[in-house]
Amino acid sequence: MVVSSNGGDVYDWAEAVKEFDKAKSGVKGLVDAGVTELPRLFVHPAEHLQSNPTDPALQPQLPTIDFAGRRQEVVEGIRKASEEWGFFRIINHGVPSETMDAMLEGVRRFHEQPTAEKMPLYSDDSRMRVRFNSNSALRENDSASWRDILTCVFNDDHIDPDLIPHACRQEVQEYVKQMIRLRETMAELMSEALGLPSDYLSNIECMKSEAMACLYYPVCPEPQKTLGTPKHSDTTFLTLLMQDAIGGLQILHGGQWVNVPPVPGALIANIGDLMQIISNDKFISVEHRVVAQPVGPRISVACFFTPSMSAAAKPFGPIKELLSDENPAIYREFMFRDYCQYYKIKGQDVSSALPHYKI
Ligand code: OGA
Ligand code: NI
């Protein structure tokens, strides 16, 4: 806090961020300390907080794809949902519910450990394969959001298991195995949905690495003033998301915020910016957010798929087989490395890199 010359309080954003990071205890640390008022750093401007006036019962429903259905129907369902929604629910996906429940419990165990256990992992350094933080990449005067994150990065499907915190090591390893298996299925189905040979997406290794975000949204004392996760689109190729029973995820569909209520046992798949680029805008990467709530904690796990190490060193661009005189390339080719760098430089300012790569 800085006192201005006229004696009034002036909010010092940089100081607030410094104080918050110094504690290394995240949002959960604030809740444990008994905050009853939302700290100013977390207050979002009113335009971030708009909600949908439509009665949730009358809102459009996210499409559900049943993997137990006929293959042709599954492929067609994915094509339609990826073109019109960018998001869909999947059921009968083969990930055992015990593995899902155990993962949610493992994530809870990690975040609910004494702060001293988590502190050594508190970092913004994206080179760390495993890190704990809350609001990374904030740019000046950005509002912070009401959640903590444990991130585990698997390059080419691999991580040194000893790096994963003990509190959830087994659960993370088991869960990622299932995500990798489901990724193979998704790659085949999405290749077919694009009208390409089944092994196309697998061959270009665009989803061969994973970054797993294990999210923890504590109970919020003033949920109407902040967000759990601010509006964004995923920068990756594909995301597979698991959420617990609390709810709060919303996607921007038809210009309105539409709720994505939890369905037991279901997973959510969503198209990332990179998939929108290589599909030349056939599949869409859609903005979404998580509202803050007076109930919780809410736990979710987002598995983001990115290229293999070798594919990251080659250029990506719209898939040639999809292009024609009627459908010319909308985006130029670029290196995945530079794409990541672009986000690092721009931080939260940029809602999406798509316009930057337009021809
Ligand atoms: C994300 C995300 C949604 C959720 O981490 O990119 O959109 O439900 N998470 O936590
Ligand atoms: Ni997201």
Ligand with minimal distance to 211 CA: 1
Mean pLDDT of the chain: 93
Amino acid identity at 80:
K
CA of 76 to the centre of ligand 2 (A): 24
Is residue 298 in contact with ligand 1, taking CB distance under 6 Å? no
Among the listed residues 299, 306, 110, the one whose alpha carbon sits nearest the alpha carbon of residue 211: 306
Is residue 269 in contact with ligand 1, taking CB distance under 6 Å? no
Task: Quick: pLDDT tens for 245-294.
Answer: 999 999 999 999 999 999 999 999 999 999 999 999 999 999 999 999 99
Neighbouring C-alpha atoms within 13 Å toward the C-beta of 295: 5
Pocket test for ligand 1, best of 136, 215, 287 (most atoms within 8 A of CB): 215
pLDDT at 136: 80
Per the DSSP assignment, residues forming a β-bridge with 331 are 358
Ligand with minimal distance to 228 CA: 1
Report DSSP state, residue 86.
S
pLDDT at 351: 62
pLDDT at 1: 45
Neighbours of ion ligand 2 (CB under 5 A): 234
Euclidean distance between CA atoms 203 and 342, whole angstroms: 26
- What is the band of 9 on the pLDDT scale with cuts at 50, 70, 90? low
Confidence check: pLDDT of 349 > 80: no
CA of 3 to the centre of ligand 2 (A): 38
pLDDT at 23: 94
Distances 203 to 74, 184, 206, 335, 348 between C-alpha atoms, Å: 21, 11, 8, 17, 32
Ligand 1 atom 9: residue of nearest CA: 302
CA of 289 to the centre of ligand 2 (A): 7
State the SS3 of 128-139.
Answer: CCEEEECCCCCC
Confidence check: pLDDT of 307 > 50: yes
Which structural domains are found in the chain, ordered by start?
Answer: 12-308 (2.60.120.330)
Task: Quick: pLDDT tens for 21-51.
Answer: 999 999 999 999 999 999 999 999 998 898 8
Confidence check: pLDDT of 141 > 60: yes
CA of 72 to the centre of ligand 1 (A): 30
Is residue 242 in contact with ligand 1, taking CB distance under 6 Å? no
Euclidean distance between CA atoms 135 and 43, whole angstroms: 13
- What is the band of 4 on the pLDDT scale with cuts at 50, 70, 90? very low
Task: Quick: pLDDT tens for 76-86.
Answer: 999 999 999 99
CA of 221 to the centre of ligand 2 (A): 24
Is residue 301 in contact with ligand 1, taking CB distance under 6 Å? no
- What is the band of 346 on the pLDDT scale with cuts at 50, 70, 90? low
Confidence check: pLDDT of 7 > 60: no
Residue 26 tokens read as 């995240």
Euclidean distance between CA atoms 132 and 123, whole angstroms: 6
Task: Quick: pLDDT tens for 57-68.
Answer: 888 999 999 999
The highest-confidence range among 18-22, 137-141, 183-187, 338-342, by mean pLDDT, is 183-187
Is residue 290 in contact with ligand 1, taking CB distance under 6 Å? yes
Percentage of residues of the chain with pLDDT beyond 90:
82
Is residue 288 in contact with ligand 1, taking CB distance under 6 Å? yes
Is residue 213 in contact with ligand 1, taking CB distance under 6 Å? yes
